[in-house]
């Protein structure tokens, strides 16, 4: 298999248009499409990158107490690792970061990429949409999605099963670096006190997201969905805005790609950074650039096809 590699901003207009037309023709024929996305598709919505020196993480660190040495030595990716709760200073930084992230998400709008995926759903071509994103930008579009890492629309208790809407009130408490006590745990504690029983530990609230190195409460149900999708034999797959670092997702993409190739379908990767050699025989097209640019060009080709009929 020979992979086609395109640099959207650097290759000639004729080359980009040629391969965009090829992909648009493949998309038009697809009936069972998989779409998998990561943080890259939301950057144009106003949600800044949390890894870079100018990103959201750095701005939160600057606001954190200068005496908090443990927060200063953290990397942006550490905020999404369960080990963050082992250190008081890092935990404080985590909650401040989540408050700021929630604020940015609340002001964000779906991108051109989200709208493109919604169009696939509306035409009955989208078999399943998986995202690693926690921003819930699919909701205003009524876009059906499987969220692999949870979402920022709710908070959950660290001890019991209670969950609540991620309100402004909770956001303000997180901004102080201190998580609120779970209301349901307070109810349990009050009832135990009324009955003369000894108090138990009470949980605190945190965003309803899945961090690295922690148990995924929906892992089994997601696994069943992925198996169901593989059995339905997808005929096309688009992977956008992700650096492909999560082992379980990498495995699913590779298995899906084999099935797609067995029915002469195509597998497409769109991201700002290139693939590693690990993916040499998985993707048919590698497009380097912003997903919004690609979907706008592709949608134009799809519209031209409709008008030509």
Catalytic residues: 149
Would you give the DSSP letter of residue 276? P
> Angle at CA 156, nearest 5°, toward 150 and 162?
125
Contact criterion met (CB below 8 Å) for 137 and 109: yes
Q: How far apart are CA 231 and CA 240, in angstroms?
A: 23
Q: How far apart are CA 192 and CA 204, in angstroms?
A: 18
138 forms bridges with which residues in the sheet? none
Question: H or E segment at 269?
Answer: strand 266-271
* Three-class DSSP category at 145: coil
Residues whose CB is less than 8 angstroms from the CB of residue 15 and which lie 6 or more positions away in sequence, other chains included: 6
Could you tell me the maximum CA-CA distance found in the chain, to the nearest angstrom?
A: 79
Q: How far apart are CA 75 and CA 96, in angstroms?
A: 15
> What is the phi/psi pair of residue 285, to 5°?
-130, 135
């Amino acid at each position: 298999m020979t992979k086609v590699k395109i640099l959207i901003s650097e290759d000639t207009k004729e080359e980009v248009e040629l391969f965009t037309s090829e992909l648009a023709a493949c998309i038009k024929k697809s009936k069972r499409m998989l779409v998998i996305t990561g943080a890259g598709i939301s950057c144009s919505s106003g949600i800044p990158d949390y890894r870079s020196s100018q990103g959201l993480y750095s701005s939160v660190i600057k606001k954190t107490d200068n005496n908090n040495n443990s927060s200063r030595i953290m990397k942006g990716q550490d905020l999404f690792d369960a080990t963050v709760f082992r250190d008081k200073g890092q935990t404080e930084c985590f909650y401040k970061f989540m408050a700021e992230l929630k604020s940015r998400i609340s002001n964000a709008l779906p991108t051109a990429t989200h709208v493109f995926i919604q169009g696939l759903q509306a035409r009955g071509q989208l078999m399943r949409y998986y995202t690693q994103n926690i921003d819930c930008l699919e909701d205003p579009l009524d876009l059906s999605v499987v969220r692999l890492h949870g979402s920022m629309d709710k908070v959950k208790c660290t001890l019991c099963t209670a969950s609540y809407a991620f309100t402004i009130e909770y956001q303000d408490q997180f901004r102080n670096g201190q998580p609120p006590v779970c209301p349901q745990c307070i109810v349990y504690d009050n009832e135990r006190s009324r009955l003369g029983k000894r108090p138990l530990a009470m949980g605190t609230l945190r965003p309803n997201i899945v961090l690295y190195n922690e148990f995924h409460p929906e892992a089994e149900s997601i696994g069943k969905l992925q198996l169901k999708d593989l059995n339905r034999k997808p005929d096309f797959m688009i992977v956008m805005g992700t650096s492909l670092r999560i082992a379980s997702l990498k495995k699913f993409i590779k298995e899906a790609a084999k099935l797609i190739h067995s029915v002469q379908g195509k597998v497409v990767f769109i991201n700002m950074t290139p693939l590693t050699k690990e993916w040499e025989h998985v993707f048919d097209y590698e497009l380097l650039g912003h997903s919004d640019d690609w979907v706008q060009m592709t949608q134009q080709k799809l519209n031209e096809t409709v008008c030509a009929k």
